[in-house]
Chains A and B, each alone.
Chain A
Amino acid sequence: MTELNNLTVAEARDKLRAGEISAVELTEACLKAVEAAGALNAVVHHTPELALEQAKAADVCLQAGEAPDMCGIPLGIKDLFCTKGVPSQAASAILDGFKPEYESTVTQQLFDAGAVMVGKLNMDEFAMGSSNETSTYGNVVNPWRAEGDTTDLTPGGSSGGSASAVAADLCLAATGTDTGGSIRQPAAFVGITGLKPTYGRCSRWGIVAFASSLDQAGPMTKSVRDAAIMLKAMAGHDPKDSTSADLAVPDFEAAITGDIKGQTIGIPKEYRMDGMPDEIEALWAEGREMLADAGAKIVDISLPHTKYALPAYYVVAPAEASSNLARYDGVRYGHRAKLGQGDGITEMYEKTRAEGFGAEVKRRVMIGTYVLSAGFYDAYYNRARRVRTLIKKDFEDAFASGIDAILTPATPSAAFPLGQEFDDPVQMYLNDVFTVTVNLAGLPGIAVPAGLDKSGLPLGLQLIGKPWEEGALLNIASTLEDRAGFVAKPAKWW
């Protein structure tokens, strides 16, 4: 019999409702898996008591026959989400000891739906990174290893703990957040599904802000169906986030019909990058064939400003970060530096921030400060925002021409060894080359595992949908998932 923690959300839901298993049994299986997985460093704050308490409450609901879909489902929660009374530090030393007095809207909605939290998950500091190497808790390790090799690989970032935890079956699913690819790139690196919803679909209230015009929470799951189930519980209008959309939340799972006949899938020529590994090119071609075979029409399209997405992102995101991270001043929460004789408030700010922020966060805050400073605002920030308008228009033009969704590779490579790209920020930024356009345009995007490379590591494909049409996107993603038939799991070494 399969271990309970290996179940998908959909499988567990059905077994829980049928009374075949209890939420407490399921939660205990996950807690046991978490305890045994210290080597992955995915779970950084363990909450077993809370989990069992939530599981018992879930069992009561289940017995009463009133259980929502997520009732009794053990989840991992990215450390970026504020969880009441549980450490929430965005993997930064500057939030050492911070225990929120409130619950983020997304986690509150999940808990209201009966979900169980097994713990808080590691990530890049303030979600800034693509390899989970900037965390104050240390690196997360990918459960996958290349065949015949014991080198530790990155799970990607910034939601690296979420990716590693789901791939290693420490929980059934996890929350992630995605500012430039932080759900989709790690999902692709560990062979799971990662969905970034349309900007505004999920409330950002109570999620530590990185770049507010780009940040969006989403599910990281073992299947496309699970992503649909979990998104429904996470999404919806929230008066506490003025950018959350006041739109009805559809039944995303019901949209998964497996029928994509007559849908038109665009293949953007600009995503064919120089130096892209042949295996990724081949996987992309296979993806096209799978969708065509399922009855979709495949069309070549152009998104002419693609090349400028990363440079625009590395102006807009640091600019917003420099503003958002101004709140970490050593006054209201977290770390405050020890002050010397005669130090005033400015020294307190400067020393606190120098000690509390890691190198990548400092780099981005200072870049953001520079591009927003007098004399450079127009040249950098306003120009980047204009380019962003053009990037969004590229997608609008494609959709207006009859395209229903766009198929691209998810990442330019498979997972790479920890330490390999860490010293070159610009090289690291290139990890998000296929995902960042989607954030700039506010669109939904999903990474689906589609194959293995020659060393046995997972590779993913990305589908990009129209705004607010996550249901249609999930349906196409599910078709791709079925045809790709990705069932591989990492061999347990931890």
Chain B
Amino acid sequence: MSIDKETARKVAKLARIKVEDEALDALAEEFNAILGFVEQLNEVDVEGVEPMTSVTPMRLKRRADVVTDGDQQDKVLSNAPDAREGFFAVPKVVE
């Protein structure tokens, strides 16, 4: 399976990383090198093998569904590049 320039463009878009048009060919080549390496996995017989979900057999713990934290608006916003009036500020999302 080979990745072309258009696929590279689509992947960059899905990952929300801006890649200039002239860099796409090189990117596609890098993807192909890595995916070529990964192709070896096709040699393995995985018939009937369950995909791993948890490396240590464990049941996730549950806790009571109650509020245990909160009231920290200042702290939540303290690292925001743009925070105004108690909110994160972003460019207009809806016209």
Q: Which residues of A contact B (CB under 8 A)?
A: 97-101, 198-200, 213, 239, 242-243, 245-246, 305, 307-308, 310-312, 314-315, 322, 326, 329-336, 339, 343-351, 353-354, 357, 362-363, 365-367, 369-370, 373, 379-380, 382-390, 392, 425-426, 429, 440-442, 467
Contact = CB atoms under 8 A, between A and B. Distances in A.
Chain B interface extent, by class: 35 or more
A366 B27 contact: yes
B78 to A, nearest CB: 6
Given A200-B58, A305-B44, A314-B38, A369 B11 contact: yes
B38 A354 contact: no
A70 to B, nearest CB: 26
Interface in B13-31: 14-19, 27, 30-31
Contact of A426 (B18, B34, B63, B90): B34
Identify the 4 closest CB pairs spanning chains A and B, nearest first. Answer: A442-B55, A385-B51, A336-B81, A333-B79
Interface string B48-64: 01111111101011010
Give the secondary structure class of B's interface: loop
A348 B18 CA distance: 10
B37 A315 contact: no
B91 A348 contact: yes
Contact of B17 (A314, A348, A354): A354
A207 B1 CA distance: 36
Interface of B: 1, 3, 7-8, 11-12, 14-19, 27, 30-31, 33-35, 37-44, 46, 49-56, 58, 60-61, 63, 72, 75-76, 78-82, 88, 90-93
B61 to A, nearest CB: 6
B31 A239 contact: no
Contact of A314 (B1, B34, B49): B34
Contacts of B81: 330-331, 333-336
Contact of B79 (A99, A199, A329, A383): A99
Contacts of B27: 366
A44 B81 CA distance: 22
B40 A242 contact: no
Contacts of B72: 101
Most buried by A among B3, B35, B39, B60: B35
Contacts of A363: 30, 34
A362 B40 contact: no
A350 B17 contact: yes
25 contacts: A101-B79, A199-B55, A239-B63, A305-B44, A311-B38, A311-B40, A332-B79, A344-B91, A344-B92, A344-B93, A365-B15, A366-B15, A366-B27, A369-B11, A370-B7, A370-B31, A379-B1, A382-B51, A383-B44, A384-B41, A386-B49, A387-B41, A425-B30, A426-B37, A441-B55
Nearest to B78: A101
A13 to B, nearest CB: 31
A322 B14 CA distance: 10
Contact of B16 (A346, A426, A442): A346
Contacts of B30: 363, 425
A213 B55 contact: yes
A345 B31 contact: no
B16 A349 contact: yes
Given A345-B90, A366-B17, A308 B44 contact: yes
Contacts of A357: 17
Nearest to A330: B81
A279 to B, nearest CB: 27
A306 to B, nearest CB: 12
Contact of B18 (A213, A350, A441): A350
B41 A308 contact: yes
A326 B42 CA distance: 29
A330 to B, nearest CB: 6
Contacts of B79: 97-101, 332-334
Given A311-B38, A314-B38, A384-B41, A362 B17 contact: yes
A354 B17 CA distance: 5
Given A98-B79, A239-B61, A366 B51 contact: no
